[in-house]
Amino acid sequence: MKRRVVVTGLGAVTPLGVGAEAFWTALKQGRSGIGPISSFDADGLPSRIAGEVSSFDPAEYVDPKTAMRMDRFCHFAVAGARLALEDAGLPEGRELEAAGVEAGRAGIIVGSGIGGMSTLENQHRVLLERGYARVSPFTIPMIIPNMAAGILAINLGFTGPNACTVTACAAGAHAIGMAYDLIASGRADLCIAGGSEASITPLSVAGFCSMRALSTRNEEPEAASRPFDAGRDGFVIAEGAGILVLESEEGALARGARIYCELAGFGMSCDAYHITAPDPESRGASACMLEAMRSAGLGPRDIGYINAHGTSTPYNDRSETQAIKMALGEHAHGVAISSTKSMTGHLLGAAGGVEAIATALAIHEGVIPPTINLEEPDPECDLDYVPGEAREAAVEAALSNSFGFGGHNACLAFKAWRG
């Protein structure tokens, strides 16, 4: 029999604030975390705006000497994990076993779409300007995406399953889904899972600009991310991390943990269509949602909320709307949907983690965050996207969608926990 999996800790590092409480408060208020790029000189680029994590000091979470040997995306991951563990009421490091969690049955699955891009760019510059002998010996460990999961295991002493999902913008959701499978199948009792990304760099932004994927609404940063709006012109790149603590229900109850909700199902699929564009017939995204509901024992009418992938790109928003209609049938017009990317921007490989946190809190608190900047709906996007203001609603079950370049699709199904 499949074991029940519950969410007991949340750690958010976002453009809206650090910590789940700050993040959630901003979402409910409909605040935007988008502004002009400050981390490098973006003059000359078509898109000069981003969702940056401001006022973040890695020294609050990582020893300064150690932090120098880690990329920014690892800083975010460590911060998110420490915040999630604190929120779950769990000790750090090897003291975890004193709380009844066996190290060999504690896993870490943290995804990243790109990994240490800033380190890659900086060290390539060193190579060209000063020669190979001046390239840091920490270059490779700093850029590889799996290092966030590896560093967390080293710091925490978790010797159970450890992996990194690298599936573009679906990486964070795939990581959470993998952790869910490990606990549900009995191969782990507890997992730290989510995604981390720090790709607001000259090369990343230039690359996305060349694809014409980014919004160029530079004079109105806060209004640039506008999912499902007729005037949307691309996504806004962002950074941060979203990390959850997942536990078996029996383990959480045994230690008296506060439970936010149940992670009840997971679906994944591939469009098998194009390297960047979604399938215009939305078959892969729809199949992914259907599988998440099936594995959770849910039907379309059970779903009260969907945290949409909702990137604010012309193709994605139309395709996702169509996928929701295919998966939910007539109920598609009766479900509340929102894109929190309207406020955070697109955190790429961390998006699924951050949006899973938003979905868990929507169930736990009975509040659906809004889609801001939705002023003139696209006629082809004709569902209830909770425009402008948060909405109080009892949510018994919800889905969180994440779709990535390469056609990678992931969907997480959450339920209210009733014991």
**Are the C-beta atoms of residues 227 and 307 closer than 8 Å to each other?**
no
Q: What would the two tokens of residue 79 be? A: 């911060």
Whole-angstrom Cα distance, residue 351 to residue 14?
A: 10
> Which DSSP letter does residue 315 get?
H
The three-class DSSP label of residue 414 is: strand
Find the catalytic residue in 74, 75, 164, 169: 169
Active site residue 169: yes
**Are the C-beta atoms of residues 312 and 225 closer than 8 Å to each other?**
yes
AA letter at 397: A
Active site residue 124: no
Among the listed residues 326, 360, 376, the one whose alpha carbon sits nearest the alpha carbon of residue 8: 360
Find the catalytic residue in 75, 164, 261, 346: 346
Active site residue 164: no
Residue 169: CB partners within 8 Å, gap ≥ 6? 113, 309, 311, 346, 348, 349, 351, 352, 402, 403, 404, 405, 408
Whole-angstrom Cα distance, residue 113 to residue 199?
A: 9
Find the catalytic residue in 75, 174, 309, 408: 309
Whole-angstrom Cα distance, residue 84 to residue 86?
A: 5
The answer to whether the Cα torsion of 69, 57, 402, 108 is positive or negative is positive
Query: Tokens 């607001």 sit at which residue?
Result: 200
Whole-angstrom Cα distance, residue 91 to residue 229?
A: 44
Active-site annotation, residues: 169, 309, 346
